[in-house]
């Protein structure tokens, strides 16, 4: 009998958001948040009050399995990610509030091949990823 996979325990929720961008929006492996902000807004510029908090809670509770992490071959690190629009609808993307404090969750992705980034990664993260053979592309 096969033992069920245990969900991966992310060390950093901001790193989890970057990975979830790939799993929810790029690969369509997991369902992105589709709550009140999407259903109740009368036009696409209107944001339902509290929707960011509901999205944050949704993504914090969303379980990610190791087999799903193994599907991630590319990541994008950029303030314009769709997932940031879910969790922080008013954020301009111009500060570091969603930068991971620890990057171990990203460095340890088993199949990661490419990271697309709009700004340089921290030097130690860049070095660790390159040492694993990951290509870093600045957009």
CA atoms of 37 and 48, how far apart (whole Å): 5
| pLDDT interval class at 71 (50, 70, 90) | very high
Query: Mean pLDDT over residues 48-61, rounded?
Result: 86
What's the mean pLDDT in 94-117?
Answer: 96
pTM summary value = 0.88
Residue 51 has what pLDDT?
76
* 40 has a pLDDT exceeding 60: no
Listed range (34-38, 69-73, 103-107, 134-138) with the worst mean pLDDT? 34-38
Cβ 107 vs Cβ 127: under 8 Å: no
Count of alpha carbons within 13 angstroms of residue 58, beta-carbon side: 21
Question: Predicted confidence band at 37 (pLDDT cuts at 50, 70, 90)?
Answer: very low
């Amino acid at each position: 009998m096969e033992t069920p996979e245990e969900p991966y325990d992310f060390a950093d929720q901001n790193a989890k958001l970057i990975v979830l961008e790939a799993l929810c929006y790029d690969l369509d492996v997991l369902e992105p948040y589709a709550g009140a902000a999407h259903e109740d807004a009368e036009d696409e510029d209107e944001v339902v009050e509290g929707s960011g908090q509901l999205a944050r809670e949704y993504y914090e509770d969303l379980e990610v399995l190791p087999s799903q992490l193994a599907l991630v071959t590319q990541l994008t690190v950029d303030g314009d990610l769709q997932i940031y629009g879910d969790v922080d609808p008013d954020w301009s993307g111009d500060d570091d509030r969603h930068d991971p404090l620890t990057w171990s969750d990203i460095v340890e992705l088993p199949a990661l091949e490419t990271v697309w980034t709009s700004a340089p990664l921290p030097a130690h993260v860049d070095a660790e990823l390159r040492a694993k053979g990951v290509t870093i592309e600045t957009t």
